[in-house]
């Protein structure tokens, strides 16, 4: 072999030697790496050796780790923790080393050498008592590649608990052939132990293909078997020919729809943006971002003033009637007063003119002298014809207190009320009672004077 330059020949020979030496170390030329299940702790029965991990107190003398027993519930998945003994009890601050040895083929299914970075990424979740101090891949510390170790006080971390995990992604310093993963545990008295678990949603490897997409609010983006509607980063593995997978990261942005809220009041007979009735209206319009903008209109249609002076048109001497026509901007009563109410103390004609933003309106009421004695009819006909359908006190007098009780001929109470406007409709428990004579008692107070009445009434069907 003739070389143009000596240093080029040396470089070429080094590459050839390196490739052949790497291949010679492999027991398998091409294939997948070990499954993540090969790294999970607690494989076996509690109190017996763990089938995946070795442990040492000096980083040299390793023996199979023991699956711990008797751990309290504060230890997440306490059946899968491992240590140098079943209890893991020790004194003082000490380091413990957990080792996992495994082989990688020469090349992955895409023909990429496992000697190269990112050709193999191992994502694991560690639970520790007290903390993970360092992780070594084939003797190389990985803390420089991980942002969550070292802790300031690894033997007594203030915010680490048995239910807290440390998730790591290891993508560097692997090699084709035999590999060694060592986890260094920092532990204070009295228990040392770790639990190694898989990660439900592992992080994508650093060399994953990244792409960006945008959708509008309310739209969907189909990413494999996922239906996405929110902004975020999403990862999936696309299976290729011959088991050569592709790692894809989607950075999705959901553009919110521009929103405008309008509160508007109009008068009866008018319209606003094409609407003329009270309600909430939502409309969509094209926008510059290709995502429709949304306008929400809260519309109130205000009627023209129609003051209501009520239907109480009779007054007894010593009583009063309060007239309130409703909520308006201004009020002018028949005597020129401008309050929002008027107190009537004598019979007569009363009127008011009110205004709001839609105009003005007027109304009048004639208050006459009422029937002020208390009168109870001797009979009633509850046949729903609008005439004498209920039995109650008949008076225009204003009563301060009131109680009416009615009994049948067996002394059973069939009706009771404290409202003078409420009368007995002849029913008891929803059923119309038989024709006949019923006994009633009534007590009431008027102008601070207490009265009692009693008598009988005939129900006529």
For 362-386, the pLDDT digits (tens) are 999 999 988 888 899 999 999 999 8
Residue count of the chain, please give it: 461
Q: Output the six-digit token pair for 200.
A: 């439900």
Q: Compute the chain's Rg from CA coordinates.
A: 45
| Cross-sheet strand order for the sheet of 177-187 | 140-141, 131-137, 177-187, 94-104, 49-56, 63-67, 82-83, 193-197, 122-129, 165-170
Angle at 412 between CA 407 and CA 413, to 5 degrees: 55
Euclidean distance between CA atoms 72 and 254, whole angstroms: 45
- Name the percent of the chain lying above pLDDT 70: 94
Q: Is the pTM of this model over 0.85?
A: no
Predicted local distance difference test score (pLDDT) of residue 338: 96
Q: Is 328 exposed, middle or buried (0-12, 13-18, 19+ CB in 10 A)?
A: middle
Predicted local distance difference test score (pLDDT) of residue 108: 87
- Cβ neighbours, 10 Å, residue 18: 12
- Asked if 175 contacts 22 with a C-beta cutoff of 8 angstroms, the reply is yes
pLDDT score of 23 more than 50: no
For 398-440, what is each residue's pLDDT tens digit? 898 999 999 999 999 999 999 999 999 999 999 999 999 999 9
Euclidean distance between CA atoms 76 and 126, whole angstroms: 11
What 3-state class would DSSP assign to 13? Answer: helix
pLDDT score of 233 more than 80: yes
What 3-state class would DSSP assign to 188? Answer: coil
Domains in the chain with CATH codes? 21-197 (2.60.120), 209-255 (no CATH), 259-302 (no CATH), 314-369 (no CATH), 379-459 (2.60.40)
Q: 208-213 long-range contacts, Cβ below 8 Å, gap at least 24?
A: 208/235, 208/247, 208/248, 208/249, 209/246, 209/247, 209/248, 209/249, 210/249, 210/251, 211/248, 211/249, 211/250, 211/251, 212/250, 212/251, 212/252, 212/253, 213/250, 213/251, 213/252, 213/253
For 314-361, what is each residue's pLDDT tens digit? 999 888 999 999 999 999 999 999 999 999 999 999 999 999 999 999
pLDDT score of 454 more than 70: yes
Strands 330-333 and 342-344: unpaired
Q: Output the six-digit token pair for 130.
A: 């007290």
pLDDT score of 240 more than 80: no
Confidence of residue 203 (pLDDT cuts 50, 70, 90): confident
The torsion angles phi and psi of 146, rounded to 5 degrees, stand at -120, 140
Q: Output the six-digit token pair for 155.
A: 């033997």
Of the candidates 270, 372, 267, the one whose C-alpha atom is nearest the C-alpha of residue 316 is 372
């Amino acid at each position: 072999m003739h070389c143009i330059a000596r240093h080029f020949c040396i470089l070429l020979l080094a590459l050839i030697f390196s490739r052949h030496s790497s291949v010679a170390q492999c027991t398998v030329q091409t294939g997948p790496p070990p499954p993540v299940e090969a790294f999970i702790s607690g494989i076996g029965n509690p109190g017996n050796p763990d089938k995946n991990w070795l442990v040492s107190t000096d980083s040299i003398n390793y023996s199979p780790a023991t699956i711990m027993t008797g751990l309290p519930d504060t230890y997440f998945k306490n059946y899968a923790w491992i240590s140098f003994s079943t209890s893991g009890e020790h004194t003082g601050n000490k380091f413990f080393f957990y080792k996992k040895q495994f082989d990688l083929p020469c090349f992955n299914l895409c023909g990429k050498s496992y000697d190269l970075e990112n050709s193999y990424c191992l994502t694991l979740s560690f639970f520790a008592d007290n903390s993970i101090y360092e992780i070594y891949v084939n003797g190389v510390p990985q803390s420089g590649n991980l942002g969550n170790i070292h802790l300031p006080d690894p033997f007594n971390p203030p915010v680490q608990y048995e239910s807290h995990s440390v998730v790591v992604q290891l993508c560097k310093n692997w090699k084709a052939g035999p590999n060694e993963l060592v986890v260094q545990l920092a532990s204070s008295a009295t228990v040392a132990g770790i639990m190694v678990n898989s990660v439900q949603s592992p992080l994508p490897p650093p060399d994953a293909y990244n792409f960006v997409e945008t959708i509008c609010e309310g739209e969907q983006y189909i990413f494999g078997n996922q239906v996405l509607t929110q902004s975020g980063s999403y990862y999936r593995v696309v299976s290729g020919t011959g088991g050569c997978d592709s790692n894809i990261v989607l950075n999705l942005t959901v553009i919110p729809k521009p929103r405008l809220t309008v509160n508007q009041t109009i008068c009866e007979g008018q319209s606003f943006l094409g609407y003329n009735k009270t309600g909430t209206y939502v409309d969509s319009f094209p926008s510059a971002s290709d995502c429709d903008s949304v306008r929400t209109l809260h519309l109130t249609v205000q009627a023209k003033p129609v003051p209501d002076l009520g239907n109480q048109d009779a007054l007894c001497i010593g009583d009063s009637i309060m007239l309130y026509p409703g909520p308006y901007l201004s009020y002018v009563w028949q005597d020129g007063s401008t309050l929002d109410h008027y107190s009537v103390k004598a019979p007569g004609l009363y009127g008011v003119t009110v205004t709001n933003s839609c105009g003005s309106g007027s109304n009048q009421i004639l208050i006459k002298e009422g029937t002020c004695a208390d009168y109870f009819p001797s009979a009633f006909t509850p046949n729903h014809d609008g005439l004498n359908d209920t039995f109650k006190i008949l008076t225009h007098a204003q009563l301060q207190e009131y109680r009416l009780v009615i009994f049948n001929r067996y002394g059973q109470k069939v009706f009771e009320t404290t409202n003078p406007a409420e009368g007995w409709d002849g029913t008891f428990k929803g059923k119309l009672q038989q024709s006949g004579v019923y006994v009633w008692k009534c007590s009431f107070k008027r102008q601070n004077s207490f009265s009692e009445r009693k008598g009988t009434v005939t129900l006529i069907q």
